[in-house]
Chain A
């Protein structure tokens, strides 16, 4: 299993600003995943972050809007840039172990 610490747990931000979300895992993992959970909707994969290489973004998500860092095998950050109210969501980081996915507690972002 894996224990994931994610912070901040919530934030209220002004439009046009940026927020960086941190994710710390208690073990070394090759891949870390970032998801967005919009109100009343499912989880949508934003990108996959491998240590030592550029993150791989899913369709509809771009690096300029959601830059990701992966400096080592236990840590990653996701930045939500130039925020608008449409970015209000829960953002989750995740790792996979065996046949299971483990999640952080999420960051509830509200953009005003």
Chain B
């Protein structure tokens, strides 16, 4: 079947620290991969996406590379800010969307 497994949180980092949130997937075909972000009190917003193997999605300093050989789509950011505090969801789309459980990130000054 199709599923997404992502790193459990919560994650707490100091400002300017390096962020990695791991995400792996299983899929019956060739999915598109996504990271969505949910800020407090808001709905999910697309952060970045990649539609085929070796594509790199990037936005707001975040990056993730579609790795077919390791079935992974890890989210990284070189220097986090307090405003990055949110819940991050990894997702795949193949006929429908499948979401990971979300990783809560808190960045402290």
Residues of A within 8 A of B (CB): 4, 6, 33, 40-43, 45, 48, 92, 94, 96, 99-106
Contacts and interface: CB of A to CB of B under 8 A. Distances in A.
A44 to B, nearest CB: 8
Contacts of B89: 42-43
A99 B99 contact: no
Contacts of B109: none
7 contacts: A33-B96, A42-B89, A42-B102, A101-B34, A103-B36, A103-B45, A105-B42
Given A6-B43, A92-B43, A104-B43, A45 B96 contact: yes
Q: Is the interface of A mostly helix, strand, loop or mixed?
A: strand
Nearest to A92: B43
Q: Is the interface of B mostly helix, strand, loop or mixed?
A: strand
A92 B100 contact: no
Contacts of A99: 32, 49, 51, 93
Q: For the side of the interface on B, what is the size category? A: 20 to 34
Contacts of B32: 99
A96 B97 CA distance: 10
A42 B100 contact: yes
B93 A92 contact: no
Which of A33, A45, A101, A104 neighbours the largest number of chain B CB atoms within 10 Å of its CB? A101
